[in-house]
A = this chain, B = another copy of it.
Amino acid sequence: MTTVRALAVVAMVGGLAWAQAGDKSTPATSNVPGAQYPRIQPDLGVTFRVNAPLAQKVQVKPGGDGLGKAPFDMVRDYQGVWTVTTPPAAPGFHYYFLLVDGFQCNDPGSQSYFGWNTETSGVEVPDRVDFYEAKEVPHGEVRARWYWSRTTGQWRRAQVYTPADYDTSGAKRYPVLYLQHGSGENETSWVKQGRVSFILDNLIAAKRAAPMIVVMENGMVAVKPGAAPVEAAGAGRGNSRNGAFEEVVMNDLIPMIDSTYRTVANREQRAIAGLSMGAGQAMQIGLSHLDKFAYIGSFSGGVRGTDPKTAYNGVFADAAAFQKKVKLLWLGAGIAEAASHQANQAWHETLEKAGIQNVFFECPFAHEWQTWRYDLQDFAPRLFR
């Protein structure tokens, strides 16, 4: 018996689109509608293809560890179409750029994602889990909320996730998680790259997490009027592009959220977390304002200090007082981000020995969004219980 394999016929889209007979690869879900490349291979290699007949050299430059470290050289065919397939990639979302004759730009086949301080390309590589996919459950909304910041003298935009029952639950009030992105990203990153709304929709529908509001703001850009910021991303204090971020959160954002949405406006119903730079901001802001927050999460964050008596301005020095106030201190890191994993694990153990209960969570991935999706999936169910 011979097997007759149907020829896969794929519509032409944007000049880039065709697939070979018997090709079992599929367009990445992170593509713009109709774009056939990048494609995901059965072994999770990613095939990139662009049409650049006049270019001398075209490369794919990964913007995260899961796709590889060094640029991949693309190979030109006789018509000027350039192609490369990577080795099997890690599951999850990976930033990348094209280098076209050395010029760093985006792939026309990819949607844009804000990262690396600009719009980037990204490719979604499937995992064997579906906790961050849109499923047949009630869906919450993500609301773009403009508000005036007295601190920075500007209209700012927060992204606010409201759970599925928010508009139909009458006077019911909700706890709030403030959730921050990493360096170079913005308030859309947890929505687009992080899939925050689908993760919460699924957890809430399964009754694994309390219905909650999630607030995301831009932790990269927060300067006072007339200030001359230097080009550095700090933890939200001092003379950097985001030096006024802590003040924005405490003096503008939280009051606006509590007066605009049906929140429970007290510390026991308020959490703060973030990833990477945002983990630093969550620890800085949360630990400095234990009158406002009872839950703090650090996703792939740096560890500031080694001695619990003095680290973080001594907030851990009186373990009993800390324990009384903080319902959850949560540290997470990916195993493939070895230095962060090691530092956070050590800090977790140091804190435990000092009588500070805390959760240490690990997952297999790198310093990328797949780690932070898994983090949120573990962190959110522990809140507001």
Contacts and interface: CB of A to CB of B under 8 A. Distances in A.
Contact of A100 (B101, B109, B218): B101
A241 interface: yes
A117 B14 contact: yes
B55 A103 contact: yes
A260 interface: yes
A6 interface: no
A228 B11 CA distance: 9
Given A53-B102, A55-B101, A103-B55, A231 B142 contact: no
Contact of A141 (B109, B144, B230): B144
B139 A147 contact: yes
Contact of A101 (B35, B56, B220, B229): B56
A136 B103 CA distance: 41
Contacts of A86: none
A363 B178 CA distance: 44
Contacts of A136: 148
A261 B50 CA distance: 43
A143 interface: yes
A33 to B, nearest CB: 5
A142 B139 contact: no
A252 interface: no
Contacts of A218: 33
Nearest to A105: B105
Interface string A135-170: 010010111111110000001000010000001000
Contacts of A134: 146, 155
A220 B33 contact: yes
Given A105-B100, A146-B139, A118 B32 contact: yes
Interface string A339-367: 00000000000000000000000000000
B103 A54 contact: yes
Interface in A171-198: 186, 191, 197
Nearest to A135: B155
A221 interface: yes
Given A33-B186, A50-B103, 13 more contacts: A11-B231, A12-B231, A34-B221, A35-B118, A52-B102, A55-B101, A55-B102, A100-B103, A100-B105, A101-B101, A110-B119, A112-B119, A139-B147
Interface of A: 11-14, 32-35, 50, 52-56, 58, 98, 100-106, 108-112, 114, 117-119, 134, 136, 139, 141-148, 155, 160, 167, 186, 191, 197, 218, 220-221, 228-231, 241, 260-261
16 contacts: A12-B231, A14-B118, A33-B218, A33-B220, A33-B221, A35-B118, A54-B103, A55-B102, A56-B101, A100-B105, A101-B101, A108-B118, A134-B146, A136-B148, A141-B145, A144-B191
